[in-house]
């Protein structure tokens, strides 16, 4: 069921007109490859991405996938970063150090520098918002 829903979402995203904005109002994240697939479609579409609320965990990969000039933020925008986690068949979570390093390396330089200034990626969620975020990405108009 989840796969079918995601397939439908991807199909709809591919059919959207080029002049539309993609608005992220609230995303707690999820499975990385699903986000990468969706953001790749958005990147290819030429659409602008409006961050208008929490964009946490895997959602932050929008910063790695979409060109910086096509991302804007509202006053409600918040990015939440943490280390990658692997999940086994029983739902137990484990640190995924190599995945964390790989993902961190894909972020734009200014994001990587901000993450390092805030202690790096760990199990603790670190939030980028407000003035700090507004200095990195333009406000949406």
Domain boundaries, the chain: 22-134
Q: Is the pLDDT of residue 3 over 80?
A: no
Q: Is the pLDDT of residue 19 over 90?
A: no
pTM: 0.84
Res 87: pLDDT? 87
Average pLDDT over residues 112-135: 97
Q: Is the pLDDT of residue 12 over 60?
A: no
Point out which residues pair with 51 in neighbouring strands.
24, 73
Contacts of 71 (CB under 8 A, 6+ apart): 48, 49, 51, 62, 63, 137
Res 122: pLDDT? 96
Res 4: pLDDT? 37
Res 70: pLDDT? 98
């Amino acid at each position: 069921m989840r796969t079918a829903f995601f397939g439908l979402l991807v199909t709809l995203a591919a059919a959207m007109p080029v002049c539309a904005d993609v608005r992220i109002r609230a995303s707690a994240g999820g499975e990385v490859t699903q986000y990468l697939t969706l953001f790749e479609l958005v990147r290819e579409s030429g659409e602008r991405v409006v961050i208008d609320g929490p964009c946490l965990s895997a959602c932050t990969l929008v910063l790695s996938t979409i060109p910086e000039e096509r991302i804007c933020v509202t006053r409600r925008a918040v990015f939440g970063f943490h280390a990658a986690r692997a999940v086994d068949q029983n739902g137990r979570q484990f640190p995924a150090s190599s995945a964390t390093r790989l993902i961190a390396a894909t972020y734009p330089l200014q994001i990587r520098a901000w993450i390092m200034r805030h202690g790096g990626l760990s199990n603790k969620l670190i939030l980028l918002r407000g003035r700090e975020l507004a200095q990195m990405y333009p406000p949406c108009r």
